């Protein structure tokens, strides 16, 4: 008799997390070894509360629409089950005759799945636990990049390009602008702001990734140089920038923690805006890209949606092949043209870990050529839009 499969979405959404969900469902429906397909409403909370919906009645037309819809269709959560809640999860899965558990999430979600897989092995349950990676932060170890990053990176790069044009146009009155981007403690999204800036160009663009300390004196010096050269400047800073002592940069007002224990931003963008206006006596605007980085589904980035869909399908294939306690990984083949290989890595190597931007990708306040080469194929579909823009006279 065919066994059931359950799938859920967890953590912050990405522009393509639903594409991964569509991939899981499509592959599950194509497998005769899989019977009922259940969706967990709001991640693992749905399984705890038995808030499940049947997905095996969805048709191809719906899955195609789902594949191109941002947000998390099943509902997401930021919830780490207590140890005492893991056994009830296993019991519910056993009652439903579910042997395949697929969770779409990042490093914290990987920890939930890893703990569930360990308990299932200890109890002798025939449960196959697989994770599908997702995060716009691109900070998961064991892979070249994560589904969701390419679209978010292209969005950040396009916003930066547009804001540079606006800043240049208004340079007589408002010559400075600070842009705060997401990324938690890794600088992948921060560096992406320079993806459409040509090497050696005169763009007055300063990138401050969290892997390097944000020092006020250095910022003031570099901005003053940019103003002298171009008459305007745009600064891009990560939401979790730190100073040389490892302290969060910002005022730190009303900082809260989510269910996974992560602090909200301390407001480094507002800090830099105040610093520049106070010390340089120059008007500065602040842009916080915020949630739009997670949900802006650019129609040009088919690559990201296709890879997310393929990761969902591959998770089902791995589960049916007997694998458990693993996460799907995307690895780039070293030769040109751009190609990826789907594989897997143990969840323990991914759970609660962060992959920083490599030092070789950083060159002061300008991303190195190695980073530009790495990111180029991921955002290539959006580049023509940036190149059609005419610079202000």
CA dist., res. 195 & res. 338, Å (int):
17
Contact 18, 66 (CB under 8 A): yes
Question: Considering 137, 144, 166, 264, which one is annotated as catalytic?
Answer: 137
Residues paired with residue 139 on neighbouring β-strands, in sequence order: none
Backbone angles phi, psi at 87, to 5 degrees: -65, -45
Angle CA 207–252–109, to nearest 5: 75
Residues paired with residue 3 on neighbouring β-strands, in sequence order: 34
| 91 flagged as catalytic | no
DSSP H or E run through 28: helix 17-30
Q: Which residues contact 182 (CB under 8 A, 6 or more apart)?
A: 136, 137, 152, 189, 238, 239, 289, 290, 293, 294
Neighbours of 61 (CB within 10 A): 8
Q: DSSP assignment of 335-359, as one string?
A: SSS--EEEEEEEGGGTTT---PPPG
Q: Which sequence positions are flagged as catalytic?
A: 137
């Amino acid at each position: 008799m065919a066994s059931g499969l359950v799938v859920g979405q967890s953590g912050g959404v990405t522009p393509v997390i639903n594409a991964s969900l569509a991939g899981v469902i499509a592959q599950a429906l194509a497998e005769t070894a899989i019977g009922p397909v259940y969706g967990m409403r709001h991640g693992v909370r749905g399984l705890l509360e038995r808030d499940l919906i049947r997905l095996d009645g969805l048709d191809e037309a719906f899955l195609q629409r789902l594949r191109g819809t941002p947000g998390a269709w099943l509902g997401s959560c930021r919830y780490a089950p207590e140890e005492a809640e893991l056994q009830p999860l296993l019991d519910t899965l056993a009652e439903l005759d579910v042997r395949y558990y697929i969770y779409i999430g990042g490093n914290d979600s990987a920890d939930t799945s890893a703990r569930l897989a360990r308990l299932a092995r200890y109890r002798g349950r025939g449960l196959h636990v697989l994770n599908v990676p997702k995060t716009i932060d691109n900070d998961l170890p064991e892979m070249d990049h994560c589904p969701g990053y390419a679209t978010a990176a292209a969005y950040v790069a396009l916003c930066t390009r547009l804001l540079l044009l606006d800043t240049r146009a208004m340079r007589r009155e408002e010559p400075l602008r600070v842009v705060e981007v997401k990324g938690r403690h890794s600088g992948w999204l921060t560096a992406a702001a320079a993806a459409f800036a040509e090497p050696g160009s005169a763009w007055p663009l300063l990138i401050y990734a969290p892997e390097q300390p944000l020092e006020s004196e250095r910022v003031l010096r570099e901005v003053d140089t940019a103003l002298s050269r171009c008459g305007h400047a745009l600064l891009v800073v990560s939401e979790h920038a730190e100073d040389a002592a490892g302290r969060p940069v910002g005022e730190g007002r009303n900082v809260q923690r989510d269910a996974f224990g992560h602090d909200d931003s301390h407001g480094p963008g507002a800090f830099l805006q105040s610093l520049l206006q106070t010390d340089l006596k120059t008007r500065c605007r602040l842009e916080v890209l915020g949630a739009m980085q997670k949900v802006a589904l650019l129609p040009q980035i088919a690559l990201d949606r296709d890879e997310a869909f393929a990761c969902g399908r591959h998770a089902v294939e791995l589960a049916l092949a007997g694998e458990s306690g693993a996460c799907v990984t995307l690895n780039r083949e070293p030769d040109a043209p751009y190609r990826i290989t789907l594989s897997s890595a143990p969840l323990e190597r991914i759970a609660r870990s962060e992959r920083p931007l490599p030092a070789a990708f950083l060159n002061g306040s300008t991303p190195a050529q190695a980073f530009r080469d790495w990111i180029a194929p991921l955002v290539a579909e959006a580049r023509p839009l940036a190149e059609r823009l005419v610079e202000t006279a």
